[in-house]
Chains A and B, each alone.
Chain A
Amino acid sequence: MKAKYILLCLSLLGSANMSAQRITFENEGEYTNLSVYDIWEKSPFRTGEIANISRYVAVVDNPSKEVDEVVGSAPNPSEKVLAVQRSRFGSNTFGARIDLPTPIKLGNATKYVHAMIYKPEGEDTPVLLTALGKRTDWPYQNKEAEQLWVKSSSEIVCGKWNDVVFGITTNPNVELHSLVVVPDLSSPHNRTSDFVIFIDEIEVSDQSQPRFSLSNYPINFDKGQAYTRTDRQFTKVAVSGSGSTTQNITFGTSTMYHDLTQTKFVSAKAGDKLTVKLSQSGVWMSGYVYVDWNNNGKFEPILVNNVPAEGSDLVSFTHLNGYNSKGESCGGNNVSNGIITCPVFTIPEGTPSGVYRMRCKVDWNCDDAGGNTASNNSIIANGGGIVDILLNVHDDEVKISANQLNGDVLNTDSTTLVSQMIPYGSAHKILMAPAPGFTYKGVVLKHGYNLDGPQFVKDNMQWKTDTIDASKFKDNIYTIPASSINGEVRVEGLFDIDTGIQRIENGESTTDNGRSPAVNDQYAYDLSGRPLPSSSPKGIYIQGGRKLLKQ
């Protein structure tokens, strides 16, 4: 217990030395004053109708130190946080104001303000950052001018600590004296009471990605976000490799983000060189391609001398700070005849076979896989877009096996299919051989990777199952399509006792066109010998001497 006290004391000592660009609320020196601010000029918090506005904020104990399952730890274990009373008499831009002991001067840089926000209850809402300050070369100007307004591109999730990131830029002559975090950017007109929201760990850094994310592969806007402009839209991904046909993936323009990982994948082998082309209407946009090589649920760019380094999840881009991913100096207008051609990249030799999430993004000068959040250059405002697909890194051959009772699944040469290797991506025929007294209802195909593990890992589908009905077989043979030979394949034959009853499928003839019923007739009759009308009810019938079950 004593040791814990000492550790805590040391942590407090450490926080005392933190610069003004990190505010943990553990130490009063981190700010000069705490109050509230409303962008609405007629707010009672600005007109003086509500007095002593500092009452609406206070530094209090952290109300939530719980471990988050996705994050894997407590997102915010700190002791003290800032509480702000969200007044229903403030506007949608009412927030907590933190006056800084040392002004922030950005110069020409884009910086990122991180803030942890915890809204215990209510609706998920977007949040906003504004900053008050002045030009350093205008001595007559007071430091209350609003220098920026940056809306979070996605909503915060209630009941959890969120790390919200705001990209900020200013004129180089500007210094920021106060930050205002607006934690509930919704109109309060229907509210009859106030509530409390907590803010903590405000930090200004170069890091555009959240310090933690409550979801895998985060994007910096709501997944349902519609395009806000009609002149720029991202519509297609085309992936081509050396010697392989181009794999095209198209998608709609109703939203800026598409998660196609359960329906679309592209195939390649370790060592392949891939070229990705992105179809984008409009101009002045760039392309970015990511692959999550370590399947950790994040896209983590590693750039050395402007070029993706070994292990970088950002594998190709057409423009980032004046360079493309080949390290060539270039501009940012990378759309040519509606196509952004990303520089070729190589799937590293030795990459284990399996699926990897691949993200293709159209954006402006931004390596954040979630999209640019900088004010005036956000991916939303610029008409960019994101699509996620799976990259299937495969070997030349994949394993196929079968396992079932009461019959065998054979190759068409009548050899038993137990476990063998077949070419990746090639159709394969199987032959059903029921044991005596048994028939088959079909097969279940399980195909993909890690077939004994969970179907989804970090939201990426590892495998899927397809049930193939007996009616799809012809002469007891079924051709497994090439698209299902996309990893390991397991076949389970569905053998069952032969009852002598067969199903009549939709479209199969069940009438005799008025002819008299006869034994062994090719048409079907009910158990009283009457020919079936085409709209016959479900039941058991006779056809050609066979019992048939119409379902």
Chain B
Amino acid sequence: MRKNFVFSFLTGILALSTSMSAQTFVMVDEDRVSPENEPAPVHPVPSERQLMWNETEFYAFFHYGMNTYTNKEWGNGGEDPNTFAPTKVPNPRQWLTAVKAAGMKGGIAVVKHHDGFCLWPTKTTKHNVTSSSNENAQKTNIPDSFAIAARDLGMKYGFYVSPWDRNSQYWGDGTSNYTNKVFLPQCLELAQFGDDQFEMWFDGATGGEQGYHGGAWESRSISNAQTYYDVPNLRDTVHAISPNCVMWGVGDEARWIGNEQGWAGETNWAMGTGEYGSESGWYWKAGESDAKATSAGWFWHSGETPKTAAQLFKIYLETVGRNATLILNFPPDKSGELPAADVKVLEELGQMMQTRLGTDLALKAKVEASEERTAGATRNYSVGNIIDQNKDTYWATNDGSKTATITLTWDEEQSLHYVTLMEYIRLGQRVKAFTIETSTDGATWKKCSTTTTTIGYKRIIPLGGSTSNYTAVKAKYLRITINDSRACPTLHTVSVF
């Protein structure tokens, strides 16, 4: 003991003598000059998978499952598997074909809702399609047929899997059994239906209502979804299997827009929460707007009708046109297919999209900017980049220039309805305020009345001032003025329709 003390004492003296010579920090002299003269990113910036997710823009939600046959929105988990009795083999190819006609680029299929009934033959629970005596149910494997159909149609796909499980005996029992034995294995099973999934959707429900729970019929709840479902490691694992799969909601890679009415704020940052986001948010979590296209619930209910194409187009403008993505719900019916009325309105919406947003007049305009960033070794920041239909080239100003104008000029007077702006968000969301003006003579300008603050991934401005009306503005000139920006502005695309 005494020997140890002497040794320790000497060690202490040595440490002391080391510390007696003042130790200060000498900074690393790192100077990384970009030969391309690219603007510095304004953080936070999106990850590659978030960028790819954002580019999906408009996609479908398909709520289908046990509730389709019980006329409920939230089943309690005690439903007899035989209740799931499709009159035909469910047909995800028909779902995706129909929504593709409307211009959608993908879809998310509900494969397990809060009732816990799984639409694939999972090893994690008997409460799945294989337990139904219905022969069409026996042939149902939604994640598999959905993924195959999406790939065939060139569409993106993903799954909604409810963490809350009112059937499971383990859910909310105070142990980790549900997460370890049921939920995480289910997610891994789903991840293996394709490494090209674009989004996995987790509803944040944390219980609080009575459920079957293996026959216990208890009201259970959990306090912290992140830790209970072990979201960080779920995210890590799903990304390892499906690297471009964004984890919605509790996964923290895309956010709920804050309402289910199909609108986002005209000011909408890709950081923060809710309809408007926050400029000061520290991480990228762009908004996704989930909205119902039909008159009843998320699931199919007898007698429901779809919204009109005009109503859906307005939702599109107020979500995709305001820096959010739109996931629009079309519920398959008891036959496992989308009703004919839904298919028809999807076709009409597609035609309306093509008519109103199909011909880009900017492509035949002369474009000029008040400033262009000095070109780098192999790339330039010319204003021509905004109409070259290449999302990887962009216009920018020099560092320190936070205001600028871009003017589009046509040889003849045009009927203009919409202006679409897209920031090069790979370098962060920057623009804080801008204005749009039109002119017939290049001298007298008329300002568009729409609130024009943020742009983000995409902003669509109705030049008539309303998302409800299809109103043309006659103009030979269109001027975009960036009035404020967090740093030098960057735009990769400007379109005019």
Contact = CB atoms under 8 A, between A and B. Distances in A.
Size category, B interface: 35 or more
A511 interface: no
Which residue, of A27, A41, A187, has the highest number of chain B Cβ atoms within 10 A? Answer: A187
Interface in B44-58: 44-45, 47-48
A464 B282 CA distance: 43
Interface string B323-347: 0000000000000000000000000
Contact of A61 (B8, B22, B41, B43): B22
A42 to B, nearest CB: 8
A171 B226 CA distance: 8
Contacts of B40: 88, 188-189
A185 interface: yes
Contacts of A88: 40
Interface stretch (A137-145, A409-417, A538-546): A137-145
A49 B34 CA distance: 12
B115 to A, nearest CB: 23
A61 B233 contact: no
Interface stretch (A67-75, A147-155, A440-448, A482-490): A147-155
Interface residues of A, number: 65
A12 B237 CA distance: 42
Contacts, number: 148
A228 B258 CA distance: 11
Nearest to A377: B224
B233 A134 contact: yes
Given A58-B25, A171-B176, A376-B226, A91 B237 contact: no
B23 interface: yes
B25 A171 contact: no
Nearest to B21: A61
B232 A187 contact: no
Nearest to B179: A171
B274 interface: yes
Interface string A240-269: 000000000000000000000000000000
Given A61-B23, A229-B273, A9 B16 contact: yes
Interface string A1-45: 000010011101100100000000001000000000001111010
B373 to A, nearest CB: 14
B487 interface: yes
Contact of A92 (B32, B43, B486): B43
Nearest to A135: B233
Contact of A169 (B25, B224, B272): B224
Interface string B207-241: 00000000000000001111111101100110000
B9 interface: yes
Contact of A80 (B19, B180, B225, B428): B19
B278 to A, nearest CB: 8
Given A83-B25, A376-B226, A12 B15 contact: yes
Q: Which of B32, B273, B487 has the most CB of A within 10 A?
A: B32
Given A83-B25, A146-B232, A171-B233, A376 B19 contact: no
Contacts of A63: 24
7 contacts: A5-B16, A9-B16, A141-B237, A149-B283, A173-B230, A187-B41, A187-B44
Interface of B: 8-9, 11-13, 15-16, 19, 22-25, 27-28, 30, 32, 39-45, 47-48, 176, 179-180, 223-230, 232-233, 236-237, 272-274, 278, 282-283, 428, 486-487
The 5 A-B residue pairs with the shortest CB-CB distance in the complex, in nearest-first order: A9-B12, A171-B230, A83-B25, A92-B43, A145-B236
